[in-house]
């Protein structure tokens, strides 16, 4: 009965999370932060409310107490659901596909160059129906579900296939990461504490006064911003954490000094050498970018979607990321050999509590076949489809590995996959149909900053303790249940609310800028083809080689301060924004450990957990209120 109750709660909250995520962007028209990044604000917000209600219910009516295993399963389901409505899929799916039709004009040549290359089963090409989606329908006009049914089903199947591949990979390496290498999983700390609070309420972390001090401090800023929005109060508008900039004019370099209390709280849980590497290498690599520009060492390519910094620096970071992914597989080689023997011989793995190795390989292979066939069917040659999926998965896998190791809450890959291929191998290699297929890939392999590999790694970590007694089949049911209801909710509300309110009135990046940027890149690549850029090959090699040197030094010199993770993400826009908050957390944590030792660190830690909870509850509450309050 507990499991059934938990499943109903998990699916209901998954629907609610996706509904709020979609509604906030269509109606609010601005960035909400509710379901965009790996800090999973919406998940922590809902889990905190559920934990408080469960503790209260357990005190008043003990038989209504929610089991710790149930809370862990609900968290796992929400971590699947949170990927779907925005960055992970929904934010790009319908706006990008419909945008190829809506934003076509005689002067951009999209109709003549793009439309015939995009299969009819992948998007809706009826101009009048697409115009209604972007501008809203007149009263009484119904939603044309009959024309959206096939594209939605095809893309939903792709998401399911990608999810199967992600689940397979994370299931295979989870024991290696969690038990053998003992990765930190900082983002799983707060959810794990909430689960532990239900297991032993008497020693709940929520009883700490220091935690509530941090909570109130962090909660107040997003709440005051919400009140300012409602009442337009000048006195509230001035209450904010100040930010500054440092400009080096000679190099054209700017350092932003922003302080986000959620970033500070999460960064406090990260290892010191990783914190140091992120903020220090952000400064060094930003200066490197400025020096290259000053010296005239530039790529002849135009600005490209989702490049972290200049084109050359983005390739350097891609090289570092690919090295991290491949080195992680190399470190895990012994464990993976044992897994493979179990695949051949059959039987459960003693190292895994989710899927057997054979089941992981089967569902992963099925997902890979669908993903590859999908790319091939949309116009990318077969061998390049295989290569594209392989490189994309390496970038996702490497980012998930760094996320589990560092907990950088707004982590994102340094580049989209498509421009990496066209820059390294030339545009003529793929032909116009291949370039159009790469344009479609921006739905899932463009803005790589929230995806299932990363969230599944943390879901498995929270559900891992043997004391919870979670059965693998139960966990799998929760994960797939959340996936299906999340997809259904997201697709339904994007289409129906788009036709009711008009996407043009929503968040400008998703609905106006993104389609024009991505399809503009595709058409520009067709009109202005480029040969393989050997300087891009060079910078990929530089990034990989530098990451190898830092990795070698980390493993061979005790106390070596620089970790290679900083090389892969230094110039991403999120690290540019968050690096100063990471620096502050490093400074405070380092001082506490130096002068007070681990005892003082543990005493102060609840304050930073409070910053995490307060930020998530404040931002989550404000997003929820703003989504339903029409200004």
Flag whether pLDDT at 594 surpasses 70.
yes
Per-residue model confidence (pLDDT) at position 163: 97
| pLDDT tens column, 465-521 | 888 888 888 999 999 999 999 999 999 999 999 998 889 888 888 899 999 999 999
Q: How many CA atoms lie within 13 A of 51 on its CB side?
A: 29
| pLDDT tens column, 337-380 | 888 888 887 766 555 557 788 888 999 999 999 999 999 999 99
**Closest residue by Cα to residue 279 from 590, 579, 547, 575:** 579
Q: What is the mean pLDDT of the chain?
A: 89
Q: What is the mean pLDDT of residues 187-197?
A: 93
Per-residue model confidence (pLDDT) at position 86: 87
Q: What is the mean pLDDT of residues 164-190?
A: 92
Could you tell me the CA-to-CA distances from 509 to 87, 414, 491, 514, 532 in Å, in that order?
Answer: 11, 19, 19, 6, 30
Cα three-residue angle 543-544-545, rounded to 5 degrees: 95
Q: In the chain, what percentage of residues exceed pLDDT 90?
A: 61
Looking at the DSSP bridge assignments, the partners of residue 503 are none
Q: In the numeric block, which tokens belong to residue 464? A: 């891992």
| pLDDT tens column, 435-458 | 999 999 999 999 888 999 999 999
DSSP 3-state of 248: strand
Flag whether pLDDT at 402 surpasses 50.
yes
Flag whether pLDDT at 460 surpasses 70.
yes
Per-residue model confidence (pLDDT) at position 262: 92
Per-residue model confidence (pLDDT) at position 139: 72
Tell me, yes or no, if the pTM score tops 0.85: yes
Write phi, then psi, for 183 (nearest 5 degrees). Answer: -65, 155
Rounded CA-CA distance 2/14 in Å is 18
Rounded CA-CA distance 281/292 in Å is 16
| pLDDT tens column, 224-261 | 887 777 666 555 555 566 667 777 877 778 888 888 89
Which residue has better confidence, 118 or 226?
Answer: 118
Q: What is the mean pLDDT of residues 533-551?
A: 95
Per-residue model confidence (pLDDT) at position 631: 45
Rounded CA-CA distance 626/631 in Å is 8
Per-residue model confidence (pLDDT) at position 348: 60
Flag whether pLDDT at 141 surpasses 70.
yes
Which residue has better confidence, 245 or 538?
Answer: 538
Pick from 55-64, 68-77, 432-441: least confident: 55-64
Could you tell me the CA-to-CA distances from 30 to 34, 360, 510 in Å, in that order?
Answer: 11, 39, 10
Q: What is the mean pLDDT of residues 129-138?
A: 88
Highest mean pLDDT among 28-37, 155-164, 181-190, 550-559: 155-164
Per-residue model confidence (pLDDT) at position 136: 86
């Amino acid at each position: 009965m507990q499991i059934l109750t938990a499943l109903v709660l998990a699916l209901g909250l998954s629907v609610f999370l996706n509904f709020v995520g979609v509604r906030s962007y269509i109606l609010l028209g601005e960035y909400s932060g509710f379901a965009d990044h790996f800090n999973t604000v919406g998940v922590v917000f809902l889990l905190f409310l559920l934990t408080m209600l469960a503790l209260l219910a357990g005190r008043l009516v003990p038989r209504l107490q929610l089991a710790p295993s149930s809370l862990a399963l609900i968290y796992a389901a929400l971590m699947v659901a949170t990927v779907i409505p925005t960055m992970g899929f929904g934010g790009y799916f319908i706006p990008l596909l419909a945008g190829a039709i809506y934003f076509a004009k005689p002067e951009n040549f999209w109709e003549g160059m793009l439309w015939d290359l995009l299969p009819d089963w992948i998007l809706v090409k009826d101009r009048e129906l697409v115009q209604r989606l972007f501008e809203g329908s007149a009263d009484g006009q119904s939603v044309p579900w009959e024309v959206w049914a096939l594209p939605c089903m095809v893309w939903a199947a792709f998401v399911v296939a990608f999810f199967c591949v992600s689940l397979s990979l994370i299931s295979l390496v989870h024991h290696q990461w969690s038990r053998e290498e003992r990765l930190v999983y900082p983002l799983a700390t707060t959810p794990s504490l909430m689960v532990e609070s239900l297991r032993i309420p008497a020693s709940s972390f929520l009883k700490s006064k220091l935690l509530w001090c941090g909570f109130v401090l962090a909660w107040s800023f997003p709440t005051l911003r919400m009140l300012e929005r409602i009442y337009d109060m000048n006195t509230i508008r001035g209450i904010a954490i100040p930010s500054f900039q440092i400009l080096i004019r000679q190099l054209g370099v700017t350092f932003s000094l922003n302080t986000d209390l959620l970033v500070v709280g999460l960064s406090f849980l990260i290892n010191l050498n990783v914190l140091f590497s992120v903020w220090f290498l952000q400064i060094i690599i930003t200066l490197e970018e400025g020096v290259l520009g000053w010296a005239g060492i530039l790529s002849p390519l135009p600005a490209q979607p989702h490049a972290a910094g200049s084109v050359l620096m983005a390739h350097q970071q891609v090289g570092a990321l690919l090295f991290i992914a491949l080195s992680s597989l190399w470190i895990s080689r012994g464990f993976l050999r044992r897994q493979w023997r179990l695949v051949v011989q059959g039987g459960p793995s003693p190292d895994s509590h989710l899927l057997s190795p054979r089941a992981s390989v089967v569902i992963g292979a099925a997902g890979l076949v669908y993903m590859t066939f999908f790319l091939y069917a949309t116009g990318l040659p077969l061998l390049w489809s295989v290569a594209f999926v392989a490189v994309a998965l390496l970038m996702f896998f490497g980012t998930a590995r760094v996320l589990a190791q560092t907990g950088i809450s707004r982590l994102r890959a340094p580049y989209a996959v498509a421009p990496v291929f066209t820059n390294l191998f030339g545009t003529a290699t793929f032909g116009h149909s291949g370039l159009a297929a790469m344009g479609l890939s921006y739905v899932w392999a463009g803005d790589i900053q929230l995806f299932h590999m990363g969230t599944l790694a943390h879901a498995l970590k929270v559900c891992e303790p043997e004391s919870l007694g979670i059965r693998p089949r139960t966990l799998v049911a929760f994960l797939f249940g959340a996936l299906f209801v999340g997809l259904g909710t997201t697709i339904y509300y994007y289409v129906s609310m788009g036709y009711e309110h008009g996407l043009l009135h929503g968040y400008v990046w998703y609905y106006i800028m993104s389609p024009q940027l991505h399809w503009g890149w595709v058409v520009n690549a067709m009109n202005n083809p480029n040969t393989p850029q050997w300087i891009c090959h060079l910078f990929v090699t530089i990034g990989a080689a530098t990451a190898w040197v830092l990795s070698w030094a980390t493993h061979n010199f005790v106390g070596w301060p620089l970790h290679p993770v900083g090389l892969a993400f230094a110039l991403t826009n999120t690290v540019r924004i968050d690096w100063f908050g990471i620096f502050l957390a490093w400074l405070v944590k380092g001082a506490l450990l130096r002068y007070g030792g681990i005892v003082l660190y543990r005493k102060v830690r609840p304050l930073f957990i409070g910053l995490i909870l307060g930020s998530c509850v404040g931002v989550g509450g404000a997003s929820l209120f703003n989504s339903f309050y029409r200004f």
